[in-house]
Structure 1
Amino acid sequence: MKKVLFFMLAASPFLANAQTGNYDVKGKIGKLSAPAKVYLLHREKDKNVTDSAVLANGAFEFKGNTNLPTQALLLLDHTGIGINSLGRDADVMNLYLESGNILVAGTDSAKTAKISGSKLNDDNAKLAAATKPVLDKAVVLNNEYQKTPEADRPKLVEKYTVLQNEQKAVLKKFIQQNPASFVSLDALRSFAGPAPDYSEVMPLFNTLTPAIQNSENGTAYKAALDQLKATAVGSIAPDFTQNDPDGKPVSLSSFKGKYVLLDFWASWCQPCRQENPNVVKVYNQYKTKNFTVLGVSLDRPNGKDAWLKAIKDDGLTWNHVSDLQFWNNQVAALYGVRSIPGNFLIDPTGKIVARDLRGEELEQTLAKLLK
């Protein structure tokens, strides 16, 4: 549970800022007392920090000094069983630590408690209220997904896409209305998603105030966007060389003159394996029409056998490369790949003409280009 919570924090862009300040978090949740405990989890630079306090008639307090703004989690252990014994349904609240007094008040849980005395948390509450209707729909859709037979689940993809677009619209509006809030930088990260579109994200980043853009977190995110620009649609695909399963080096540039689908996947990635039949279909349809696929696997250091088995089992008869370094794969880092499946469609001149094509969209794009 503790690892899950710190993973949530590590995914946040608000790990630290240049400004330093003292915070004082005072809380009162119901009338809980020992052995009930409350935990405050946050990150300082690259370190996980856990603080704890015993409740006395519902009251607790945390004091500290932190680089701000810092996203944190407040976790309430009602029976004192310990943070590592709590499940995924633990009573958790999201908040931001910033200089000054932060007040937390609730009747029976951290999830429903309210925060006051903090501008940053006021902004966060405003964003949470704006996104709640979409998230409520997502819960309903997820329940529907769980009850749907696996063969029929792809039919729900369109519903997920509609919800994603709804959420992006809400986040975009919040960012545009709150350009001076650090929460907007967080909202921008959510808006961008795991496979950001540079042409969509960068204009929104530019709407943020200079103070936000030039903060430590802002400049770090700008650097990530600059890297993204190198692999944006319209850019020349960065060349690379990586070994195939037999240890022979394969370069992207060796395929120049063809349309190439640079496909990032892994044997352990179930969505990748579900998408593979679509890639096999278009490969077989267009392999004689100046088109090929180059697979880049993010399998683990001990995963070569699983990689080769997946290639055979899924009928992936095109070229494959990997350094078997999991998420540290050098080609994935070069292309800014943070989620899989992911792909880049490269034209005969070496220019990226599309990315993250799936199913029918992949087939229709190739049909148009290779007609």
Structure 2
Amino acid sequence: MKNLFLVSIISVLFLQSCSQEAWLSGTLNLKGGGDWKPMVYLVYPEKFEAVAQSFVGKVLDSAQVDENGRFEFKGNPAFQEPVLLEIVVQKLGEKYPNRLLNKNPETDNYFPLIYNPDNHLTIDADIAHFQSSFSIKEPSPKNEAMLELRDLRLTAFKKYLEGQQDGSGADEDLLERESNQYGYRKELIDFSDTSEELMPAMVALRWASPEGDYERVAELAYAQSRKWNNVYPEHPWAKELASIVSKENLPILIGNTIPDLQLPIKDNGTVNLKEILEENKLTLLDVWASWCAPCRVENRNVLVPLWEKFNTEGFQIMAYGLESSEKAWNNAIEKDGAHRWLHASHLQGDQNPFMETLRLKTIPANFLLNEEGDVLAKNLHGQDLMDFVNDYMSSP
């Protein structure tokens, strides 16, 4: 009798398991995917910083892909409200299910989507072009926004970054590459700015910098932090974003006032930045180094002509060098013809009080300052810098 009862219980549980509907199912095109595992992983980024980041998302589940490319997940995740999940595939030999690729959206191995306990999700994708081919049957408005973001990212990548993914390129091309990187990031952050959906907007901000480095897009990221904290002041991701891109963690923003720095001037002595600003209509605070090839090109081709044209009218350059060798510093100044303007350095390399105070990590960098020390513009180079100085110095 006991055995019959036990068999009945096991049969009921088996039938319940078999009848349980899949909350996520789909089909993968396996053609050309011989070096990919026939598995799909479900990863949960618990924090904003974990989105689009390798090895930190929590692996919730996995599903086998059959010979026809079909897979399904049964047993809903234990979330009572919509959350962001990442659907991931991995190559053969990869030990970590939560490794996420962010090298090329054409072939990246994951897609972030919104899980809603009330909805069934049906997806299709090419396993070898997972992110770019990912589709959702009858997507919700939130997932529709995620697909739109994916398309925008793919287009922006092809427009700005596709040609520089091999890591090659002369040092002199650094400014062009940085300009392209800025254009790519701006398009993603602009999506966040126009979106009404929090989660897709957060993914856009993470895709703008999977490393969480917003130094070169500080003003754009800070504006998004303010927007989403106004809309969702209690959401943990909005609070986390506010902490990451607070003014205390970003370089001085356009519109803010630069602190009065006391700088160790070349050939001994010190100078207060405030005194230089008060004596000039416009001051370029230029952060460079003798070993920085694009800095050296800009010295010769941009800064010398600007100084020659406008110095007598109230334009000054205060150059800070990330130097450890005084000899190399002096040689570069003389060779570039940069001896015309002011130079300062702690001669401590890139670990120095100047970079710490301004919260800078990357060069070339610059700030255009008025007499009061207000930041009018920053990180302008080449023709953009020449145009700004020309226009400002020509104004009343």
How high is the TM-score relative to the length of structure 1?
Answer: 0.61
2-side partners of 1:271 and 1:69: how far apart?
44
1:181 maps to what in 2? 198
Contact persistence 2:41–2:89 (CA under 8 A): yes
Q: CA deviation at 1:125?
A: 0.9
- CA 1:332 to 1:136, structure 2 compared with 1: closer, same or farther past 3 Å? same
Aligned partner of 1:304 among 324, 335, 356? 324
- Equivalent positions of 1:96-245 (< 5 A) are 96=113, 105-109=124-128, 110-111=130-131, 112-115=133-136, 120-138=142-160, 142=163, 164=183, 172=190, 175-176=193-194, 178-187=195-204, 190=208, 194-196=215-217, 198=219, 208=228, 210-222=230-242, 224=245, 226=247, 231-241=252-262, 243=264
- What are the superposed Cα offsets for residues 77-116 of structure 1, whole Å, 9 maximum, x if unpaired? 0x436679x9956652242576758765424332323356
Q: Does 1:264 align with 2:291?
A: no
- CA 1:370 to 1:214, structure 2 compared with 1: closer, same or farther past 3 Å? same
Q: Does 1:294 align with 2:318?
A: yes
1-side partners of 2:263 and 2:24: how far apart?
51
1:80 maps to what in 2? 93
Contact persistence 1:241–1:252 (CA under 8 A): yes
Q: Which amino acid aligns with 2:149?
A: L
Matched-pair identity in %: 16
Q: CA deviation at 1:127?
A: 1.9
- The CA RMSD over aligned residues, in Å, is 5.5
- What are the superposed Cα offsets for residues 139-186 of structure 1, whole Å, 9 maximum, x if unpaired? 67x38xx999999x79x89x969x949x9578646643x324232245
1-side partners of 2:160 and 2:224: how far apart?
25
Contact persistence 2:284–2:317 (CA under 8 A): yes
3-state DSSP of counterpart to 2:93: coil
Contact persistence 2:290–2:329 (CA under 8 A): yes
Q: Which amino acid aligns with 1:184?
A: A
3-state DSSP of counterpart to 1:292: strand
2:10 maps to what in 1? none
- CA 1:309 to 1:102, structure 2 compared with 1: closer, same or farther past 3 Å? farther
2-side partners of 1:311 and 1:337: how far apart?
23
Q: Which amino acid aligns with 2:134?
A: A
2-side partners of 1:42 and 1:329: how far apart?
39
Q: Which moved more, 1:200-209 or 1:87-96?
A: 200-209
Give the number of the structure whose residues are more often strand, by fraction: 1
2-side partners of 1:197 and 1:28: how far apart?
41
3-state DSSP of counterpart to 2:127: coil
3-state DSSP of counterpart to 2:232: helix
1-side partners of 2:221 and 2:331: how far apart?
38
3-state DSSP of counterpart to 1:304: coil
2-side partners of 1:368 and 1:296: how far apart?
24
Q: Does 1:49 align with 2:56?
A: yes
3-state DSSP of counterpart to 2:112: strand
- What are the superposed Cα offsets for residues 64-88 of structure 1, whole Å, 9 maximum, x if unpaired? 88999667583420x436679x995
Q: CA deviation at 1:230?
A: 9.2
Unaligned runs of 5+ in 1: 1-23
Contact persistence 2:63–2:73 (CA under 8 A): no
2:380 maps to what in 1? 357
Contact persistence 1:76–1:91 (CA under 8 A): no
Q: Does 1:252 align with 2:273?
A: yes
- Larger-gyration structure (1/2): 2
Unaligned runs of 5+ in 2: 1-22
How high is the TM-score relative to the length of structure 2?
Answer: 0.58
Q: Which moved more, 1:329-338 or 1:260-269?
A: 329-338
3-state DSSP of counterpart to 1:76: coil
